[in-house]
Amino acid sequence: MNETVLVVDDEERIRSALRGILSDEGFRVVDTGDAPAVMDLIARESPAIVLLDVWMPDMDGIELLRRIKSEQPRVLVIMISGHANIQSAVAATKLGAADFLQKPFSVSGLLASIARALEGDSAGPDPSNPHGLSEQLRAAGRKAIRAGAIPQRTVARSIVMGGQGLHSGLKTGVILHSAPPGFGIVFTSLADETAIPVRFENVTDTGYNTTLTSGGRSVRTVEHLLSALHAFGITNLLIKTDDEVPALDGSALEFCTQIAEAGLTEQDATVEPIAIKHKIIVGEEGEGLEFIKAEPAGHLIIDYTLDYPKPIGIQQLHFELTSPAAYTREIAPARTFGFVREFRKLNEIGLGSGARLDNAILVDDEKVVNTTLRFPDEFARHKVLDLIGDLYLLGRPLHAHVTASKTGHSDNLALVKAIHAALQS
């Protein structure tokens, strides 16, 4: 390994530590604390990667990042900071940073970030081969699909989105990084490297959203993002965020748009979708009753019945997840909703603080008060959106016919647990 890494940090102890770590890993290391000299160093040393501190005494690191990407766009830049937040990370990544690390960072985290950047995480798909596969691997993938397994997938390049948390009301964001085969879908934060794998055992709250917790850290309102990942069949992904995934416009549409623009990479590994062998039911089945069941099917089919007080009323929806395009067209645009009086109660218990006129459908006793519906049955469609996201807590795509009546996140989780138990028996 002969790649050159340029370390730009005003603290000598940081530069010294990084020189030792990276030299031991086989990198050629050049370092400086003189920010104005960086462009000349890049021209002279041709580094593959620049590790750039955000806070430099002579020059703003973000402005220096902007200049590097403008004048030397092929040079990879990983930003580092002792005072980071997800907003800074989102801003830097949008400007072209390959990653954003918060001090103090671990050796394993630093090396993983460098490896991810060098593997071409930000390069995007090859237009002649949008899935990033050799012809041999594509043929193997087709064979595997016929046999029942499907290729594992990740994003072809990093995706960044900023917004506001629906329940916290705080500014937040997400950075989606590609991940290797077998990695799974994992949330982590900038503050530390606590990993929160997406699986039902890590669910700690299903009251008004789905919350995952591990290692003393939590991330809430994950269901809309997971719904889009389920629809696109993404099985490996590293997701950096704060304590809540941004609400965006209250739907999953922006997630779908960004994923489609970034492209997908099918990987040299497969995953077997979960196939239901017999009926599994939670609750008592019957008209007007609350229940959810799964039955055998060749792909994910959902029949949902919603029954809310007026003016929402009873809505029914049939949806078949046959392609990402079908999901993006029929389900992803449906926004979260609630009664005005309900959001007042949520505010009293510290939730719903981020509900605004542009990220949720607000309903009073007579009508929708803040927007025009995107579908006559948008409320039922959003329930299906949530259900598709919660079902991905199984860790694999689900092939089943799911029928649900008057259900929410807690019922969805109960079905997930029942399906898992059935697979173990």
Per-residue pLDDT reduced to its tens digit, 21-67 = 999 999 999 999 998 899 999 999 999 999 999 887 777 888 899 99
Q: What is the pLDDT of residue 1?
A: 52
* 106: phi then psi, degrees, rounded to nearest 5: -85, 160
Which tokens belong to 293?
């069941």
CA distance 372 to 358: 11
pLDDT score of 356 more than 60: no
Q: What is the pLDDT of residue 156?
A: 92
pLDDT score of 381 more than 90: yes
Q: What is the pLDDT of residue 143?
A: 36
The interaxial angle of helices 86-94 and 61-71, nearest 10 deg, is 20
CA distance 135 to 188: 34
CA distance 180 to 174: 19
What are the tens digits of pLDDT across the range 72-115?
999 999 998 876 677 788 888 888 999 888 877 778 888 888 98
Catalytic residue among 131, 299, 409, 420: 409
Q: What is the pLDDT of residue 358?
A: 63
**CATH number for the domain running over 4-118:** 3.40.50.2300
Q: In three state form, how does the secondary structure of 274-338 look?
A: EECCCCEEEECCCCCCCEEEEECCCCEEEEEEEECCCCCCEEEEEEEECCHHHHHHHCCCCCCEE
Please, are residues 155 and 265 in contact by the beta-carbon 8 Å criterion? yes
The model's pTM: 0.79
Instruction: Identify the CATH class of 140-271.
Output: alpha beta
Please state the domain extents for the chain. Answer: 4-118, 140-271, 274-424
DSSP 3-state of 73: coil
CATH topology of domain 274-424: lpxc deacetylase, domain 1 (3.30.1700)
Burial tier of 277 (Cβ tally within 10 Å: 0-12, 13-18, 19+):
exposed
Instruction: Name the average pLDDT for the chain.
Output: 86
409 assigned to active site:
yes
